[in-house]
Amino acid sequence: MRTGMGQGPEIWIRGPVAAPDAEAAAPPGAPRAHAAARRFSWVGLHGGAGVSTLAAVYGGHDGGRAWPGPADPRSVLLVARTHAAGLDAVVPAVELFRRGEAPPGLDLEAVVLVADAPGRLPRPLAQRIRLVESVIDVYRVPWVPEWRLGDLSGRPPHGADSPARLTGATR
């Protein structure tokens, strides 16, 4: 901690920080403004991670498996499935950001894990996810049968709303 510089200590915060609530001072019954959706680049860590579906449902840039270009949002959400191969890809990608080896100007916001099948995860996979959660914010997206059938309309189903809170999507 630095002293004598007129500043407080450095503080590290995990995850996105919400802007101050300007609506708190609004009189009761006044119309409430909705925050604009945040812009992210969804980056898949392996083929079939679900990047295109997530971008269609929640908004943002569908980066496929490529890093965002100069005109794309600089905030990155890494996407992987919850199977062993998908989880194997997460830690090395997070390490790229930690070591400063990701392309300059990109900010890693979180990891989004998309269920690879309906039902509970086997214990070994759940333990691996807990390890990832210990180093970065993780948002989980459950199995959504409608998405498998190509129905991306409507609001995200129950259990798939945490990425909506992250991105500000209000479908």
Overall residue count recorded for the chain in this entry: 171
Q: In angstroms, rounded to a whole number, what is the distance separating the alpha carbons of residues 95 and 35?
A: 32
Among 103, 85, 3, 97, residue whose Cα is nearest residue 45: 85
For the chain, the structural domain boundaries read 38-167
pTM to 2 decimal places: 0.75
Number of Cβ within a 10 Å radius of residue 113: 25
Q: What is the pLDDT of residue 165?
A: 72
- What pLDDT, on the 0 to 100 scale, is given for residue 11? 39
Decide: 35 and 19 in contact? Cβ < 8 Å: yes
φ, ψ of residue 92 in degrees (nearest 5): -60, -35
For CA atoms 94, 95, 99, 101, the dihedral sign is negative
Contact 142, 159 (CB under 8 A): yes
Which CATH fold topology does 38-167 show? Rossmann fold (3.40.50)
Q: What's the pLDDT score for residue 37?
A: 53
Confidence of residue 38 (pLDDT cuts 50, 70, 90): low
Apex 77 CA angle, 48 and 34, nearest 5: 120
- In the predicted structure, residue 84 carries a pLDDT above the cut 60: yes
